[in-house]
Amino acid sequence: MSLTLPAASAHATEVDYLFAALFAVSAAVLGLVFFLMIEFSIRFRRNSGVDRGQPLRRSWRFETAWTAATLVGFLGLGIWGADLYVRELKAKPGALTIDVVAKQWMWKVEHPEGQREINELHIPVNRPVQLRMTSEDVIHDFGLPAFRLKHDVLPGRYETLSFTPDRIGTYQLYCNQFCGIDHANMIGTVTVLSQPDYERWLAANGAAETLAAQGSRLFVSYGCSGCHRAGGHGGEGNVRAPPLDGVYGSPVPLSDGTTIIADDQYLQDSILMPKKQIVASYDPVMPSFAGVIGEEDIVKLVEFIKSLGGKS
């Protein structure tokens, strides 16, 4: 079995050019150092009898020049790498957002239309993908060598990984952050399909409902609608709770006098740690649902609340 490292995206190909440059610089530096080392070891061995009367002329200009040149060269490599990195991380329009929930020791993937996968990810070629990732327990890392990418997946937070595959094929997925006993088994595959194949795959694996629709049922079954009004229902109890229509993306004034924008993180925190940020003029009476609602269901609830309008 031979080692392969396909380049499955334009970014991967560009990173490979940087690798080539790094290799060339490394080879040049090592070549020079080893050459001098070996040459000096032979030429200046103790009984070689060569003339040692010519001292190395130490000129400050030479020292400064080669030091500066080295620095500029190294920084050039650094800037190249930084540029590639920053460009790849920029959000791309029309990206397909797919949720990834990591848990000891498996990857759970949820497509927006409700399709679910374990340890596998099917995506269409030539379309930007944005993975929205969180962990149910410890820190994991979603690692894709073929795309030259990885990113840590944290509990209690959403991290994103963006890329645009441009080659059809099946590629390796690794967990790249030690996460416990079966860390080495937390591997899978990413399959890039042509657009028609992708549509066929979606249809064959389709769930009956989108994530948002599943979320609206959970909103009732977990008792959220007992206090909160959303989508024209709910909130008929004694408890006064902030209404959720249009909340996503809107500014929310808080009890400590500050104002924040309600994003995915805010919604997740409100469910798991409601006392962290209280909306102004409301009592801090919402119970925490940590341990009650798992990360996958949180994703669905968040999708439901997003579907209620507001700025995205």
The rounded distance, in Å, linking the Cα atoms of 16 and 266 is: 38
203 binds another protein (CB under 8 A): no
Shortest Cβ distance from residue 3 to another protein (Å)? 5
77 binds another protein (CB under 8 A): yes
Residue span 115-134 as binding mask against another protein, x where in contact by CB under 8 A, dash where not? --------------------
Question: Binders of another protein: how many residues, by CB under 8 A?
Answer: 92
- 116, 126, 178, 195: which one binds another protein (CB under 8 A): 178
187 binds another protein (CB under 8 A): yes
287 binds another protein (CB under 8 A): no
264 binds another protein (CB under 8 A): no
Nearer to another protein, 2 or 259 (CB): 2
In contact, 101 and 135? CB cutoff 8 Å: yes
Partnered with residue 122 across adjacent β-strands are: 191
Tell me the C-alpha to C-alpha distance, in Å, between residue 118 and each of 26, 140, 173, 204, 215: 41, 15, 12, 16, 20
Nearer to another protein, 37 or 203 (CB): 37
Shortest Cβ distance from residue 287 to another protein (Å)? 14
- Left if phi > 0, otherwise alpha if psi is -120 to 50, otherwise beta: which for 110? beta
Residues 13-32 that bind another protein (CB under 8 A): 14-15, 18-19, 22, 25-26, 29-30
Residue span binding another protein (CB under 8 A) among the ranges 76-84, 117-125, 192-200, 212-220: 76-84
Half-sphere exposure of 85 (CA within 13 A, CB side): 8
Shortest Cβ distance from residue 116 to another protein (Å)? 24
- 8, 122, 131, 143: which one binds another protein (CB under 8 A): 143
- 148, 228, 300, 306: which one binds another protein (CB under 8 A): 148
Half-sphere exposure of 117 (CA within 13 A, CB side): 20
Dihedral over Cα of 299, 304, 305, 311: its sign: positive
Nearer to another protein, 113 or 136 (CB): 136
State the amino acid at position 141 in one-letter form: D
78 binds another protein (CB under 8 A): yes
Nearer to another protein, 217 or 275 (CB): 275
Q: What is the DSSP string of 201-264?
A: HHHHT--SS-HHHHHHHHHHHTTGGGT-EETTEE--SSS-----TT-TTSEEEBTTS-EEE--H
Residue with token string 């209280």? 278
